[in-house]
Amino acid sequence: MFFKKRSWKSFAVAGALTLALAACGSESAGTDGETTYDWRFATEEEPGQVQYEYAKEFADLIHEKSDGQINIDVYGFGELPGSEVDQVEQLQDGLLEFAIVSPGFTGGMVAEGQVFALQFLFPDDQEKTQEILNTSEALNTQLAGMYEAHDIKPLAFFTEGAMQWTGNRELRTPEDFRGFKMRTQESPLIMESYRAYGADPSPLSWSELYTSLDRGVVDGQENPIFFIEDASFHEVQDHMTISNHNNYVAMTTVNPTFYNELPEDVRALIDETVEEMQPRVFEMQKEMNESYLDLIKNDTDNPTEVIELTEEEREAFRELAVPIRDFFRDEVVGDEGREMLELLEQEIAAHE
């Protein structure tokens, strides 16, 4: 079996933090009288990228606060078997305790999670967007409940930055997308959004993306700047459009059975640390997205034309993107999803 067996030992509490003794899962008595909790945390990204660095800091904080009683092994993308979608299944099956999940990969299962694929929905102001992600009842209560029904418990939503387009040709107007082979995540709504621009969407794991761009299997893709640079997509793309058409939203998730069976004080420790990580990850992505833009612009070995859309140019895309909200309401979700979007739209309006 690939995964390490979960190890539980009985313990004597050390330091200021007292973790309750209630057993969660299997437990075995240790010789040193201490319980150690060994958990696994999977991410969809690699060292140096936002999700991985988030998980590392989270693991370090939890380790420190628990006086070393809780160890969390963080897995970068590719260290566990399978794709992003397989990692979600491993979380649902309890093979992983924690995972960062991009809703785009769960579109076939929790249709309502595709709300994040609705372009031009959230404010352009990233701080406002993060505030909505932190406080929204539509997301943190309604949508979270829909995920929980599928054995995925979202503890937090955070932005990894505004998304931009890269292409093997200039992408300045919707006409430029005509017949364009656009790589997307596995979400019917993301695909529909690109069909509205006239593109030909093609879902792929990001592990296949560099080669697919290089070989012309696909013509372009969307991602935040830090990811475009760090995954070297700009090396095999001649153009990058600063479109800010959407945010890349990720969720910190936990297996609900594991979480619900934890002692209350351990759950409180997790919750408190998740909350502490929200401003931290916001700063992390902001710094990375800003500095990596300069890296792309200054990479003379791999020149990339950077096009910044004017408000007027963005408007042409917005006009085609807004009707996708009706598609979401009418074709993708049921009453609960419609109510969620209505509430979310009210929450967004209150921030603008």
Q: Which residues bind ligand 6CS (CB under 6 A)?
A: 44-45, 84, 102, 160, 185, 206, 223-224, 227, 248
Which residue do the tokens 């305790």 mark? 97
Cα Rg for the chain, rounded, in angstroms?
21
CB atoms within 10 A of CB 144: 21
- Evaluate whether 173 touches 211 at the Cβ level (below 8 Å): no
Structure tokens at 123: 């404010």
Pick between residue 102 and residue 126 the one whose CB is nearest to ligand 6CS: 102
Q: Are 164 and 82 in contact (CB under 8 A)?
A: no
Please spell the DSSP secondary structure of 73-98, one letter per residue.
EEE-TTSSSS-HHHHHHHHHTTS-SE
In the complex with ligand 6CS, the residue whose CB is nearer, 160 or 192, is 160
- 250: phi then psi, degrees, rounded to nearest 5: -125, 160
Q: Cβ 51 to ligand 6CS, closest distance in Å? A: 6
Q: Minimum CB separation from ligand 6CS for residue 291, in Å?
A: 16
Instruction: Please name every residue paired with 309 in a beta bridge, in sequence order, or none if there are none.
Output: none
The encoded tokens of residue 332 equal 């993708």
Q: Which amino acid is at 296?
A: I
C-beta of 223: minimal distance to ligand 6CS in Å? Answer: 5
Tell the residue number behind the tokens 């949508």, with chain if given: 143
Which of 50, 262 has the CB closer to ligand 6CS? 50
| Least distance CB 222 / ligand 6CS (angstroms) | 8
What does DSSP say about strands 305-308 and 239-242: parallel, antiparallel, or unpaired?
parallel
Tokens of 57: 């800091």
Amino acid letter, residue 199 = A
Nearer to ligand 6CS, 182 or 344 (CB): 182
Q: Residue 95 Cβ, how far from ligand 6CS at the closest point, in Å? A: 19
Cβ proximity to ligand 6CS: between 180 and 206 the closer is 206
* CB of 46 vs ligand 6CS, minimal distance in Å: 9
Toward ligand 6CS, which CB reaches closer, 185 or 237?
185
